[in-house]
Structure 1
């Protein structure tokens, strides 16, 4: 399991000091990028080779709100790997409390949008 810390800043919140719902997607995106980097997958090199990661599907559940200055932890686990898709389960935690959960499906495509096989280091996770 990959863990990625996040602190809630004022810019992440709405007028009531509650994290704006779309910002949870930003938080889990940062965690996925960090996870891929730690696996040794260079996203800049992939892009230079004409390959990019795209999110194909997100299923999200908002459990309880996070607020300004909360310290959160994004947990990322691989749920399923196929040659062309990767499914991850991600949770945003405040201490022991799950405040947000998502199931995210990503794929690798060319700059023209044509599907490609996932990088070998990702396929090896299956």
Structure 2
């Protein structure tokens, strides 16, 4: 679901498997939540992972920056807000914020993804239909 700021929102519940020995979400799981949100955003635009494979195309994560501000706990309902902040011919930058059910900002993630031809394992331009769908959703 996108809001009035063209930010895609995706919710995820914290399960026991997401927590560490201290009872809080293990830091790497925030990256998993962010990945799921990006994938579901594409799916909401009619673009799924199977289509990528059929086209020998994919996005690979080139750079990640994560700033943890507070901890999520078991059974929290998290909302990931995702938006594209930079678009180039063969890359995108997603900025994502993860909030708990009390609207407390828990984590900020910036992800640079590069477009690659999976068959050649080389960078390629983002296909026009994918770029168009993402930029029109901005």
Normalising by structure 2, we get a TM-score of: 0.86
- Structure 1 gap segments, 5+ residues each: none
- SS across alignment from 1:22: helix
Distance 2:44 2:64 in 1: 23
TM-aligned CA deviation for residue 108 of structure 1? 1.5
Residue from 50, 60, 70 that aligns with 1:54: 60
Structure with more of its chain in strand, by fraction: 1
Number of residue pairs aligned between Structure 1 and Structure 2: 126
Residue 114 in 1 paired to residue 122 in 2?
Answer: yes
Structure 1 outlier segments of 4+, above 4 Å: none
Distance 2:28 2:64 in 1: 12
The worse-fitting range, judged by mean Cα deviation, of 17-26 and 113-122 is: 113-122
The worse-fitting range, judged by mean Cα deviation, of 37-46 and 58-67 is: 37-46
The worse-fitting range, judged by mean Cα deviation, of 102-111 and 113-122 is: 113-122
TM-aligned CA deviation for residue 98 of structure 1? 0.6
Normalising by structure 1, we get a TM-score of: 0.93
Q: How does 1:23-102 map to 2 (within 5 A)?
A: 23-94=29-100, 95-102=102-109
RMSD: 1.3
- Structure 2 gap segments, 5+ residues each: 1-6
- SS across alignment from 2:27: coil
